C-alpha cells in the first residue's frame, strides 16, 4: 500500500479486536512523522496488555488515551432488550462517535486547511490523508439488507444504532464538505473478534488490511457513503 494514510490518527476501542489491529497496521503503513492516538477504556487494565506492549515498542508514535462511555449489550434479542439497553447501545454506537467528531472538529478543519495551503489555497480534493472521519458501521445497519440477514442476527439495538450511525455519517459528509473533511462509514466484514466470534470467515488482519486499503483510496465521491472492507457499496 502506498503512503496515503498519515498525519495524526485517532482510533477508538484499541485494546482488542479491530481497533488493536488497526493500530498495529497503521504503525506499519504510516511514516515516523505520523502519530497514532489509541483510545481505550482501561489503559491500565489486564485487557489492554497487548496495546501497552505495542505503545512501549513505539513510544514516539503511539499515545494511549483513556476514553470510554457506557456498557454495551447490543447483541440482545427482542425478549432481552429494554429501553435502557436501547439507550446504552445508542450512546456507545452513535452518541460517542458524534461527540468525538464534534470535539475534534477544530483539529479536522485545521488539518484540511493545512493541506489546502500546501496546494496554494486551491481547496483540492478530500482524502484520509487530508482530513477524515471513518465510522465503523455494519452490514446489519443496512435497512435494505435486513430481510436477508435479520434471522441470523435479530439484534434490535445494534441494528438500529448502526443505521443511525450511517445517517450521522451522511450528515457529517454534508455538513463538513465545505471544510474538505471526508466522512465515510465502513463495514469491516464478519470478523473473528470477541464480537464476531470464532466462526467468522475473516481474520482481523485481513479485514484491517482491506479497510486501510479502502481508506487510502477514498475521495470526494465516497464521502457520505457506506462501503465494505473491500470497497463495495452497501445499500442504506
Ligand X SMILES: NC(=O)c1ccc[n+]([C@@H]2O[C@H](COP(=O)([O-])OP(=O)(O)OC[C@H]3O[C@@H](n4cnc5c(N)ncnc54)[C@H](OP(=O)(O)O)[C@@H]3O)[C@@H](O)[C@H]2O)c1
Interface residue with ligand X among 193, 208, 211, 222 (CB under 6 A) is 193
Residues 44-63 touching ligand X, rule: CB under 6 A, are: 47
14 phi, psi to nearest 5 deg: -100, 10
Q: According to the binding rule CB under 6 A, does residue 22 interact with ligand X?
A: no
Kindly state the cell numbers that stand for 31: 511514516
Give the whole-angstrom CA distance, residue 150 versus residue 137: 16
Alpha helices in 47-95 (DSSP H): 49-57, 83-90
Q: Which stretch binds ligand X (CB under 6 A): 30-38, 79-87, 176-184, 194-202?
A: 194-202
Burial class (CB in 10 A: 0-12, 13-18, 19+), 84: exposed
Q: According to the binding rule CB under 6 A, does residue 169 interact with ligand X?
A: no
- SS3 of the chain: helix, strand, coil, percent, to 5: 50, 15, 40
33 phi, psi to nearest 5 deg: -80, -15
Q: Would you say 16 or 130 has its CB closer to ligand X?
A: 16
Q: Which stretch binds ligand X (CB under 6 A): 16-24, 145-153, 175-183, 209-217?
A: 16-24
**Minimum CB separation from ligand X for residue 172, in Å?**
16
**Minimum CB separation from ligand X for residue 72, in Å?**
4
CB 133 within 8 A of CB 172: yes
Residues 104-143, one symbol each (x = binds ligand X by CB under 6 A, - = not), give --------------------------------x-x-----
Residues in contact with ligand X, total (CB under 6 A)? 25
Integer CA distances (angstroms), 78 to 101, 152, 153, in order: 31, 13, 11
Residues 69-108 touching ligand X, rule: CB under 6 A, are: 69-70, 72, 92
Q: According to the binding rule CB under 6 A, does residue 15 interact with ligand X?
A: yes
Question: What residues make contact with ligand X under the rule CB under 6 A?
Answer: 13, 15-19, 41-42, 47, 68-70, 72, 92, 136, 138, 187-188, 190-191, 193-196, 200
Amino acid at each position: 500500500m502506498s503512503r496515503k494514510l498519515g498525519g495524526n490518527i485517532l482510533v477508538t476501542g484499541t485494546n482488542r479486536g479491530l481497533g488493536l489491529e488497526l493500530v498495529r497496521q497503521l504503525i506499519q503503513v504510516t511514516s515516523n512523522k505520523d502519530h497514532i492516538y489509541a483510545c481505550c477504556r482501561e489503559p491500565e487494565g489486564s485487557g489492554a496488555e497487548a496495546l501497552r506492549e505495542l505503545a512501549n515498542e513505539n513510544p514516539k508514535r503511539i499515545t494511549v488515551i483513556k476514553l470510554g462511555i457506557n456498557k454495551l449489550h447490543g447483541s440482545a434479542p427482542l425478549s432481552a432488550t429494554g429501553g435502557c439497553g436501547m439507550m446504552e447501545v445508542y450512546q456507545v454506537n452513535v452518541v460517542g462517535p458524534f461527540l468525538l467528531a464534534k470535539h475534534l472538529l477544530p483539529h479536522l478543519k485545521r488539518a484540511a486547511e493545512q493541506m489546502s495551503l500546501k496546494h496554494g489555497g486551491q481547496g483540492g480534493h478530500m482524502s484520509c490523508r487530508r482530513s477524515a472521519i471513518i465510522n465503523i458501521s455494519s452490514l446489519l445497519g443496512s435497512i435494505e439488507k435486513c430481510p436477508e440477514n435479520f434471522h441470523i442476527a435479530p439484534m434490535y439495538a445494534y441494528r438500529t444504532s448502526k443505521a443511525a450511525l450511517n445517517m450521522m455519517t451522511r450528515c457529517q459528509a454534508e455538513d463538513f464538505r465545505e471544510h474538505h473533511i471526508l466522512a465515510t462509514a465502513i463495514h469491516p466484514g464478519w470478523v473473528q473478534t470477541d464480537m464476531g466470534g470464532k466462526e467468522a470467515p475473516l481474520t482481523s488482519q485481513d479485514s484491517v488490511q482491506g479497510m486501510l486499503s479502502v481508506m487510502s483510496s477514498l475521495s470526494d465521491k465516497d464521502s457520505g457513503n457506506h462501503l465494505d472492507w473491500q470497497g463495495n457499496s452497501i445499500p442504506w
